[in-house]
Structure 1
Amino acid sequence: MSTWTKATTYSDIQKAILTQIKVCELLEPHALIAASPGIVSERWLQDQTIPRSGAAFVGIGRLASVKNQADGTSEHELGLGVFVASPQGHRDTQAQTSVDTVHGLTQIIKDNRFELVKAQKPVGISARNLYSPSLDRLGSALWLIEWRQSFILFDAEGTALGNAASRSLGREERVDA
């Protein structure tokens, strides 16, 4: 049984998602699985060397909200995504592989807390084909899987962020004489 991680940064969350995608072995053996540089654009893809076996890029697209809980901790809701670049091949095979990969990744994402302490279940999962003629000319197809998910972040000592500050903020300690 693995030990769950207390994420201290958004990049910890991104790394945990990358790890889960790597261990599921859903993509071809030599596929590139990496953090995205933000939005994966056609221009960016043209400048990259995508392996013939395809790629998956995990990105954090937005911070949707930060909500304070009753205990003072802060819950961070992130907009997350996986860009899936299909392996090169015949268009019919490529289309089927892309759709099957998106389906498989969606099955991994739903209900997955990515072994992060106090992570909520993903919500609002959707996927879309980012077809464009220029990507087609490159011999690639690109899909985007998006979802929202809430996380509690922790400090280096493992305390949920917001707790200590919320308890003492604006309150004076009383000293009884």
Structure 2
Amino acid sequence: MLPQMGYFSVIRQLECVANSRYVTEVVCNAVPPRNRSINAALRLMQRITGLIGNLEVSIPIPRKKKLKKIFDITFELCKVLRERKRKTLIELLSTMTCLGNRTIQCPIHAGFYHAENITVVESLPPVLTESDFHIRFNWFLPKVASVLNITAVGRLYEIAKEHAKKRKYL
């Protein structure tokens, strides 16, 4: 029997900060009791035609109180959704942009958007190791303003290692 490959994350801290000129009623939280997924909701106040995203993933440097950036990408949301060239980014965005009964399309129309049980870590390739992580996801209008900033702090666990720990103690 092959061990189950992949990862899961546990979110310890989650914060969403919105620019009230563009977004109201913003709510985001980790889903208890395991904190492995996220619920999010927001009301977009106006139509947006060009939205830039910046995703940074950092891990702590052992014995130092610093973070090391392991992933940093900036992209134009509509272009990525339209061209569908970056597979990992497309998978991540597909998970995040299927909000409730609506899939985000460009231009993004004003209205209420919500998503439940968003998980993105399970689709990552098995090349990472268990570690703490710090994720910043910033959405902004080019040369205009920040729209929404999402910060998550948590830990990435290997599924196979967790199964082995359970068997050891049973």
TM-score, with structure 1 as normaliser: 0.26
Q: Which has the higher helix share?
A: 1
Name which one, 1 or 2, has greater alpha-carbon Rg: 1
Bigger RCO of structures 1 and 2 (CA < 8 A, at least 6 apart): 2
